[in-house]
Chain A
Amino acid sequence: AQTVTQSQPEMSVQEAETVTLSCTYDTSENNYYLFWYKQPPSRQMILVIRQEAYKQQNATENRFSVNFQKAAKSFSLKISDSQLGDTAMYFCAFAPPDDKIIFGKGTRLHILP
Chain B
Amino acid sequence: NAGVTQTPKFQVLKTGQSMTLQCAQDMNHEYMSWYRQDPGMGLRLIHYSVGAGITDQGEVPNGYNVSRSTTEDFPLRLLSAAPSQTSVYFCASSRGDTQYFGPGTRLTVL
Contact = CB atoms under 8 A, between A and B. Distances in A.
Interface string B7-50: 00000000000000000000000000101000011111100100
Interface in B58-110: 58, 88, 90, 92, 97-101, 103-104, 106
Given A43-B88, A45-B90, A104-B42, A35 B98 contact: yes
Interface of A (DSSP majority class): loop
A65 B99 CA distance: 19
A103 B90 CA distance: 13
Contacts of A35: 98
A105 B37 CA distance: 10
Interface residues of A, number: 17
Contact of B42 (A33, A100, A105): A105
B92 to A, nearest CB: 8
Nearest to B94: A101
A105 B43 CA distance: 7
Interface in A65-106: 91, 95, 97, 100-101, 103-106
A43 B9 CA distance: 11
Nearest to B35: A103
Contacts of A100: 33, 45, 48, 58
Contacts of B41: 105
A112 interface: no
Contact of B40 (A33, A44, A103, A105): A105
10 tightest Cβ-Cβ pairs between the two chains A and B: A45-B101, A105-B42, A103-B43, A33-B97, A103-B42, A43-B104, A106-B42, A95-B97, A44-B103, A104-B42
Interface of B: 33, 35, 40-45, 48, 58, 88, 90, 92, 97-101, 103-104, 106
Given A100-B33, A103-B35, A103-B43, 5 more contacts: A9-B40, A43-B104, A45-B90, A97-B97, A101-B99
23 contacts: A33-B97, A43-B104, A43-B106, A44-B104, A45-B90, A45-B101, A45-B104, A47-B99, A47-B100, A50-B97, A50-B98, A91-B43, A95-B97, A100-B48, A101-B99, A103-B42, A103-B43, A103-B44, A104-B42, A105-B40, A105-B41, A105-B42, A106-B42
